[in-house]
Amino acid sequence: MFVYNSKSIGNMVLFFLYFNFFIFGIIIGSFLNVVIYRLKSEEGGILMGSSHCRDCNHELSWKDNIPLFSYLSLGGKCRYCKNKISLQYPIVEFSTGLLFVLSATGFLNSNFIKESVIVAILTALVFAGMLAIFVYDLKYMEVPMIVVYISGALATASIFLNKSYNLHDFLFHLLSAIVAFLFFFSFSFFSDEKWMGYGDGYIAFVIGLILGPFWTFVALLVAVWSGSIVGIFAILLKGKNMNSALPFGPFLISGLFMAFFLMKFFPNLLDFMKI
């Protein structure tokens, strides 16, 4: 015989929310794949036109567009021409689902309130936008500014609606965003974009809005160190040189995800750093 109390019911509801965040996330991830492709190809606009195979151009049916499931059921191949489907599609879908769960676990608990759900959704959408930028910059060495602007607007809304923040917190998040932006913008401006592009500064701005001063510093530190390590390996193993271009956006965004994870699950790290 099962005895349910308010805590167990709250945990069941919370698990249900996490599960729905994941499902919603992989659906958004499927849309991100469309955005990444059509922003570059300018093929009929992002919301216009039906999905089709990029190899045989055959129009895809609804059963070919079910996030994750379609890729697995088809064995990673097009139903019509049998050419391989890029791994980007399931990876982006699954990663977006995980990022949505990360946002949910960061803001929701068994005593959840409506405002927390809204903030979690908005933050998850910011993460989705950042993931789209991650993939786009990695593929095309370019930051899609329209996605950055939308992500910035969603980030602003999320911290404004977060009931645990007061005006002081909001201003500190805004200040950290401005400082992070100016830091990277100066590198772009004084090097005429030879060291990094202007888009990286705008990504840093969104990171500052989401994380606030200390955790923005952590995110940027992760980005700089990981970028340096990958750059060194690229020089040693792939014959690159100091003048070889390397997109920095993915490292900034990886720093955002890592810092958010630490901020929500290891909040005492800030106290440790003060010792």
Q: How far apart are the first and last CA of the chain?
A: 50
Alpha-carbon Rg for the chain, nearest whole angstrom, is 20
Q: Mean pLDDT of all residues in the chain?
A: 86
Cβ neighbors of 132 (< 8 A, separation 6 or more) are 32, 35, 36, 144, 147
- Residue whose token pair is 């009931």: 163
Nearest Cα to 225, choosing from 268, 257, 254? 254
Amino acid symbol at 96:
T
Q: What is the pLDDT of residue 93?
A: 97
Sequential DSSP letters for 215-252 = HHHHHHHHHHHHHHHHHHHHHHHH---TTS----HHHH
* Its pTM surpasses 0.85: yes
Q: What is the pLDDT of residue 9?
A: 61
The 10s digit of each residue's pLDDT in 19-36 is 999 999 999 999 999 999
Q: What is the pLDDT of residue 2?
A: 46
| 8-state DSSP, 83 | P
Residue with the larger pLDDT of the pair 51 and 188: 188
Range from 4-18, 124-138, 157-171, 241-255 that averages highest in pLDDT: 124-138
Positive or negative, the CA dihedral 255, 118, 62, 32 is negative
Cβ neighbors of 71 (< 8 A, separation 6 or more) are 85, 89, 90, 93
Backbone angles phi, psi at 103, to 5 degrees: -65, -40
